[in-house]
Structure 1
Amino acid sequence: MAVERIEAPAPASPPVRTPASGFRKWLAFGSGLGVEISSNELRVTAVRVRPGAIRHLDSIVLPGYTDRPAADWGAELSAFARRSGLAGLPVHVLLPRGEVIVRTLALPGVEDRDLASAISYQVDGLHPFPEDGAAFAWARLPGSVFVLVGIARRETVDHYSNLFAEAGVKVAGFTFSAAALWSASRIVSAAPRPYLALHEENDTVEAIGESEARPIYSAVFENGASALARRTSFAELRLDDAAPVLDFSSLLPPLDPPAPYPLAAAAAIAGACPRLSLSANLLPEDRRAQSSRLAYIPSGILVLANVAAAGLMLSQPAYHDRRYLALLNREIQAVEKQAARAARLDQETRQARDRIALLGRYRQRSKADADALRDVTNLLAPPAWLNSLQISRTDVYLTGETEQAAALLQMIDGSPLFKESQFSQSLTRVGSGEQFVIRTVREGPGVGLEQGENR
């Protein structure tokens, strides 16, 4: 049967995209064959990816694959791969969206090594299939806590796997539209985020989008409900009315020339650069075909040689820094004991100085007490006289009699050794005089309490 060749239409106003930068840009290197399984046809796209550019080699449609012998359309697909210069390259197959359940899980705090166990624990609640009747694949969205999960009936995966094996076509993996478009949109440029993309085919509308609220969104609407798909998707993504509504072709990086089948092209681009793509592969590992790595041996050797040379150049400053640090550590250890002894001597000197100062203050106390007694005697001249005199380190209490006690407070405060004099008790009239009790605060050298000393 003749192969139907389709020319790609010109893209309509693609969104502005930011080119990839850094080391990721140079990892965008490879070739891929993508196969989209439609209702009764296979759409195949071949691409070649290079840093900064993606070449669309060719695209074909294999109609009626369900009604034809598998070997028939398998031979056509192999011939197409040879014409595209990709003979023997395994294909990446995109399963029909209606046969895959797509879910997004938020797993904060779960390490990569524990993801498989965490997802296996939850996956039974994400699908209606019988126990052990589901095949699932997952991939963490880079730099986030979200995991994209695709689930299909195991018998569906086995059916397509056997079908391609019967056709003699090597298959690298089965994936689904959300994973393929998410990966392909980021190979050589950044995705236009936030966005909503709609794709209508055979009375079915598929919606895919990204926003701050939903890192990835995928849904299918039956009966051509494009208006419902738009309203529901905008609500799920929490987008405003100004957010762009794209087609699937606008999510792909620029292709030269444009590809007619965006889903097949997305599978091919993602398959060409598996290290830059989400590894959501529903095909059992023992059935996956691997392409030959012999072609990359010369490039690998060259890369290793360059890395080794760069490593030697970068390690020289680090080596000298380590030697200098080791020399400094030896010098520090040599003077460390001397520094400790000097610190100990400093501490002992401070303690001796404090003790000397304390002894000096104690010697001043006797003179201060004698001076206080002398001033009290001079201030309270006859006919005033004292019954009691109490001298503490901070206060002096005077108990006695005089003709006019009120004048005593100002007289006592006039001394440089006393301040804040006041009557501790009310004055009492005794005969022709007044009985008083005066408290005054001491000041000057030799007074006050030492730390920890009681009054």
Structure 2
Amino acid sequence: MDLRRLLAFGSAVGIEIRGPRLEIAVARVRPQGIDVLGRTTLENFHERPAAEWGREYAAFVKRCGGAHLAVTVLLPRREVIVRQVAFPGIPRKELPAALALEIDSLHPYGEDDVAWAWAPLGSGAALVGIARRATLDRYQELFAGARIRVACFTFSASAIHAALRIGKREARDFLTVSEGAAGGYEFYGESRTRPLFSAEFDLPLERAATLAASELRLADGAAPEPLYALLPQPRSNPVENDLSRNALPYATALAGACPRLAPAANLLPAHLRATGSAAAYAPTAVLALLLLLLAGALAGFRAFDQRRYLARLRAEIARLEPEALRAAALDRQIDNIRSRTRLLDDFRLRAKKDLDAVNELTGLLAPPAWVHVLDLTRDGVVINGEAEQPAAFLKIIDASPYFENSDFSVQFARSPAPNNAETFRIHTRREAGR
């Protein structure tokens, strides 16, 4: 299902002004198909009071369930000048200004006030309809007197062009013909060489068809097709709506039902246009609702995704926590082993330093001095011994790179014979790292 089919959503009333009659059709367009809700004819509307035939119209649309619908009115072909103009290279948004500059050259009404409207044809081309302002005002007052809310005054070429683009149609050259209200034949066609052709001929059908086909550059012998065969076919259609006899009211209703999908040229000023079916806004409302639902779902999904992420994170933490605890225990064991290793290394180095200190003292306290007790600690040494002249030992010991701050802990005492030496007790500090 393509996007254009999804946007085909709306309902409208189409009224063709056909001589003394008003041909009325009510159509409902949905993506699933088109339904014709009703078809009727109001006779001699010009000769009767507007309120009278306005009541007949109101009763008819009420039976069809379309009392709330605005109306698209198809003006008589002979009261509208139809032109096809091209402005190659001009963007679509600039076409209204370009048409306004050329509009006086497109109609034969001279200084008379005119109303004009246009519809895009693509590639810088536009379909333009021009009517006398007095004619438009007369019809506007007539429908206002009948209390009929009009949303659009258009013409047959624009209505057919819009109606053909509601359904899915094969792009091909064609020519269609319908009988005019005042006699003659009205032709409409499209081709690769000419985007649109619309004209009314007071000639025999064969001669008029030949002229129309030549305007479209169609192949020789191309016969005009009936309009109803080209229009989107309805799913349901009342018996009284014989499309083979007159399909223009149906085409007008289709053009009014989906103005955004296939806009028709609207001669009615914008400030005078009645609002159409509320169902026309249903796609916008549905899309807005879907957007709100999507935004809510996105916000909810973010919260859900965050909770799910936190749950996964907690599960991963719980899974890795035993390994992290084992790693922390291993780190503590490694630190303990390193401490023990350093302690053993220090102890090994301490024994060597102690032996170096003892060896140094052995050299410093040479015989005949001798030592009774040697108390060696990490930061000091206590020496108990005998010597003939111990006073000189302090300078000797402090001069060593291993010791410093030596002093005698007790007074000298003479040892008994036969040694005849003095006893001493020296306390000295070991230098750092020794």
Name the TM-score, length of structure 1 as normaliser: 0.61
Aligned residues: 293
Unpaired runs of 5+ in structure 2?
302-434
Contact (CA 8 Å) 1:210, 1:237: kept in 2 or not? Answer: yes
Matching of residue 76 in structure 1 with residue 60 in structure 2? no
Verify the 8 A CA contact 1:49 1:272 in the aligned structure 2.
yes
Cα offsets for 1:168-206 (capped at 9, x unmatched): 111001001111111111212215621000112442210
Cα deviation, 1:267-325, whole Å, max 9, x if unaligned, reads 101111111122410112222111364x6778645422423555799999xxxxxxxxx
Match of 2:127 in 1: 148
Amino acid at match of 1:208: Y
Q: 1:114 aligns with which of 90, 94, 98?
A: 94
- For 2:270, the aligned partner's letter is E
Secondary structure of 2:84 counterpart: strand
Gaps of 5+ in 1: 1-20, 317-455
Structure 1 counterpart of 2:212, one-letter code: S
Match of 1:303 among 287, 296, 300: 287
How far off its partner does 1:226 sit? Answer: 1.4
Give the structure 1 partner of residue 104 of structure 2: 124
1:31-81 deviation digits (Å, cap 9, x = unpaired): 110000011100000111111411011100000011101111111111111
What is the correspondence of 1:376-391 to structure 2 with a 5 Å cutoff? none
Separation in structure 2 between the aligned mates of residue 112 and residue 64 of structure 1, nearest angstrom: 42
Percent identity reads 43
Q: What residue is the counterpart of 1:219 in the other structure?
A: 199
SS at match of 1:37: strand
Give the whole-Å Cα distance in 2 for the aligned partners of 1:95 and 1:65: 14
* Distance (whole Å) between structure 1 residues aligned to residue 46 and residue 272 of structure 2: 22
Shift of 1:27: 0.7
Cα 1:296–1:265 shift into 2, 3 Å: closer
Residues 314/190 of structure 1: CA separation in 2 closer, same or farther (3 Å cut): farther
Matches of 1:314 and 1:124, distance apart in 2: 56
Q: Deviations over 1:341-400 (max 9, x none)?
A: xxxxxxxxxxxxxxxxxxxxxxxxxxxxxxxxxxxxxxxxxxxxxxxxxxxxxxxxxxxx
1:123 to partner: Cα distance:
1.1
Residues in 2 aligned to 1:245 and 1:299: alpha-carbon distance in whole angstroms: 37
Secondary structure of 2:260's aligned partner: helix
**Higher alpha-carbon Rg:** 2
Matched, 1:91 2:77: no
Amino acid at match of 2:227: F
Conservation of the 8 A alpha-carbon contact between 1:210 and 1:216: yes
Indicate conservation of the 8 Å contact 1:71/1:166, yes or no: yes
For 1:78 and 1:130, the matched residues in 2 are separated by 39
Partner of 1:277: 262
Normalising by structure 2, we get a TM-score of 0.63
Q: Determine the structure 1 residue equivalent to 2:229.
A: 250
Query: How much does 1:157 deviate?
Result: 0.5
Distance (Å, rounded) in 2 between the aligned partners of 1:36 and 1:297? 25
- Whichever residue aligns with residue 87 of structure 1, its letter is A
Partner SS, residue 254 of structure 1: coil
Q: How does 1:353-392 map to 2 (within 5 A)?
A: none
Residue 229, structure 1, aligned to residue 213, structure 2: no
Distance 1:192 1:78, change over 3 A: farther
Answer whether contact 1:185 1:191 (CA < 8 A) is retained: no
Confirm or deny: 8 A CA contact 2:9 2:283 kept in the other structure.
Answer: no
**AA aligned opposite 1:271:** G
RMSD (CA atoms): 2.3
